[in-house]
């Protein structure tokens, strides 16, 4: 018997709960040789801004045990080039594409939301209020509940598409942020974005990253992400998407037990560009091996 892997994420119908995380999967096309996009639930495109952004100087990436730090600085092509050069590919794929984006001001967030709302190829929106690597925007909105709520309300008013908000773990209490976003009109929440970290080169007595600090991701952050997803899923009534160090089906299923309706695979795609597809297939195999006929029965099924 083939288990039912479908989930409904705030109105986005996913063939399975495995999505790819923004910034780790380009605009989808880069990975099409390695990952069958029609075998995953959805993919989230690289964070967009109104204007193209240069990003940070290099080095932008460094590896640490079990993880990596990145300080890309939201380099992206901007909304116009996205529409012109990236959207035509989205049209060819029968998998929901979710656009991740960010602004420097509430008005910019609202304007981008309105622009993206007009693109039929974009199935849903993910607001980035949690990038740790840029001075303006991003994290400012992601660490203050009132600021987060103002961004989410402005975006909510500008779109009829499902609206997902990506939360930062770099806060004292993620539940306060989650509730603020839910009350402001978010349809679902994704967490966690990267944790702020740094690496030092002892011999040079200098930080390794040109930006000094960066966002920490990879398997090392999974326990923190699981804990936050579990806390948030208990506290809100909208669906939650689990992100953080997912490398295999076991990791993904743990997030679902903790309360996630779907998951996003991030850093794993760098190491293995077919990771998301493999995780989706391994999840299905696990359900079959355990005689579970619907993945939805596992959502929040953690016994405590």
Q: What is the largest CA-CA distance in the chain?
A: 59
Q: Are 276 and 265 in contact (CB under 8 A)?
A: yes
The token pair at 27 is 């605009």
Residues 267-286 contacting another protein, CB under 8 A: 267, 269-274
Q: How far apart are CA 248 and CA 298, in angstroms?
A: 17
Residue 89 interacts with another protein (CB under 8 A)? no
C-beta of 231 vs 267, nearer to another protein: 267
Q: What are phi and psi of 17, to 5 degrees?
A: -80, 5
**Which runs of E-coded beta strand occur in 244-302?**
262-265
Among 15, 36, 61, 179, binds another protein (CB under 8 A): 61
Residue where the block lists tokens 């990436």: 61
Binding mask 99-138 for another protein (x = CB under 8 A): ----------------------------------------
> Taking contact as CB under 8 A, which single stretch among the options 105-113, 124-132, 190-198, 266-274 is the one that binds another protein?
266-274
The one catalytic residue in 35, 131, 155, 181 is 131
Question: Quick one: which of 243, 246, 253 has its CA closest to 283?
Answer: 253
Least distance to another protein, CB of residue 26, Å = 4
CA nearest neighbour of 190 among 239, 149, 246:
239
Q: Per CB under 8 A, does 195 bind another protein?
A: no
**Strand pairing category for 188-191 and 206-207:** unpaired
Nearer to another protein, 113 or 269 (CB): 269
Distances (CA, A) of 197 to 62, 67, 132: 11, 11, 9
Q: Is 131 annotated in the active site?
A: yes
Does position 33 interact with another protein (CB under 8 A)? The reply is yes
Stretch that binds another protein, among 21-29, 105-113, 229-237, 292-300 (CB under 8 A): 21-29
Query: Which residues are marked as active site?
Result: 131
User: Which stretches of the chain bind another protein, using CB under 8 A?
Assistant: 23-26, 30-31, 33-34, 46, 52-55, 58-63, 65-68, 70, 72, 75, 218-220, 247, 267, 269-274
């Amino acid at each position: 018997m083939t288990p039912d892997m479908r989930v409904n994420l705030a109105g986005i119908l996913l063939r399975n709960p495995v999505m790819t995380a923004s910034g780790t999967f380009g605009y989808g096309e880069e990975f099409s040789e390695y990952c069958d996009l029609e075998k995953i639930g959805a993919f989230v495109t690289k964070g967009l801004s109104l204007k193209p952004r240069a990003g940070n100087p290099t080095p932008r990436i460094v590896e640490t045990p079990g993880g990596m730090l990145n300080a890309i600085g939201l380099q992206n092509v901007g909304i116009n080039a996205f529409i012109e050069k990236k959207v035509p590919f989205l049209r060819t794929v029968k998998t929901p594409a979710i656009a991740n984006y960010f602004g420097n001001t509430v008005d910019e967030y609202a304007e981008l939301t309105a622009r993206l709302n007009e693109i039929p190829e974009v199935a849903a929106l993910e607001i980035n209020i949690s990038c740790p690597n840029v001075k303006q925007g991003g994290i400012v909105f992601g660490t203050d509940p009132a600021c987060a709520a103002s961004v989410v309300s402005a975006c909510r008013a500008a779109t009829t598409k499902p609206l997902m908000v990506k939360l930062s773990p770099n806060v004292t209490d993620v539940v306060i942020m989650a509730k603020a976003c839910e009350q402001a009109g978010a349809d679902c929440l994704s967490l966690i974005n990267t944790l702020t970290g740094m690496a030092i080169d002892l011999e040079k007595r200098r930080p390794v990253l040109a930006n000094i600090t960066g966002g920490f991701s990879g398997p090392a952050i999974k326990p923190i992400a699981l804990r936050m997803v579990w806390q948030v899923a208990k506290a809100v009534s909208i669906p939650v998407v689990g992100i953080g160090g997912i490398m295999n089906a076991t990791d993904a299923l743990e997030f679902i037990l903790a309360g996630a309706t779907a998951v996003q695979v991030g850093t794993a795609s760098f190491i293995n560009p077919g990771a998301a597809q493999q995780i989706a297939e391994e999840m299905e195999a696990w359900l079959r091996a355990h005689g579970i006929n619907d993945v939805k029965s596992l959502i929040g099924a953690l016994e405590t």
